[in-house]
Structure 1
Amino acid sequence: MRASLTPMIHVPDVRAAADWYAAIGFDVLDIGEDGVEPVFALLGCGDGRLMLNAGGRASDAPRREADLYLHATDVDALFAQIGDRAVVVEPPHDTFYGMREFIIRDLNGFWLTFGQPTTETP
């Protein structure tokens, strides 16, 4: 089977979430409205896609039901660009499994981990 995966997260305010993701570099590819307000948005980040759907809730819980993992080419430069626009869970660091990563929370409490392979693989 050939398929591509587009994660969907449920958010309380699709417009606010789409605007937040756009502010950190995502492309807003489509927004669907029910005649009154946005009910979904399709976002792009490189070759990846993310769908936002109405009906979710914000959370201050330590973790959400889903985390997003994004591969980046220069984690440190990216953190310098967007690290002050979000709650930082973990600043850039090297992991035991051969990745350099940082983790932020979006406006609804979802974790976004940005990672790139280190030159040293465990």
Structure 2
Amino acid sequence: MIGRDAIKFMLNEPPRAETDTVPLHAKNFQVYYFYPDDVAALHAAWKSDGLPVTDLRVTLYGMKEFELRDPDNYWLWFGQECNDPPTVRE
């Protein structure tokens, strides 16, 4: 379970026999996107805690965001709308 402030989030894991046949690369196409109130503060806190977060970026579609992989190798993305100029081209 992960959480911050009053928000708690948990994903359920199926039995190992069900996931043994899922190729690892299939997990690259499953993204869980979260919208925290202050994505920069969350990024800073998790980075200082040593979590393997990506750099904070501003996208062409107006989101300040970052991501990390959970222990099962799924992508967890965190973003917040912003008016800052993009820092990436994709």
TM-score category, normalised to shorter length: 0.5 to 0.7
Residue of structure 1 aligned with 2:13, choices 27, 50, 53: 53
Structure 1 residues not aligned, in runs of 5+: 1-17, 28-43
Q: What is residue 63 of structure 2 aligned with on the other side? A: 99
Once the two structures are aligned, what percentage of the paired residues are identical?
A: 30
Residue 119 of structure 1 and its aligned partner are, at CA, apart by: 2.5
CA RMSD across the alignment: 3.4
Dislocated runs of 4+, deviation >3 Å = none
Matched, 1:71 2:35: yes
Counterparts of residues 1-122 of structure 1 (less than 5 Å): 18=1, 21=2, 25=3, 45=7, 50-56=10-16, 61=24, 64=27, 65-83=29-47, 84-88=49-53, 90-119=54-83
Distance 1:120 1:91, change over 3 A: closer
Q: CA deviation at 1:109?
A: 0.8
Report 1 or 2 for greater relative contact order, CA contacts < 8 Å, sequence distance ≥ 6. Answer: 2
| Contact persistence 2:58–2:84 (CA under 8 A) | no
User: Which protein is richer in helix relative to its size?
Assistant: 2
Q: How many residues align?
A: 80
TM-score (norm 1): 0.50
Q: Which 5+ residue runs of structure 2 have no aligned equivalent?
A: none
Structure 1 or 2: more strand by fraction? 1
The one-letter code sitting in structure 1 at the alignment partner of 2:77 is T
TM-fit CA distance, 1:81: 1.4
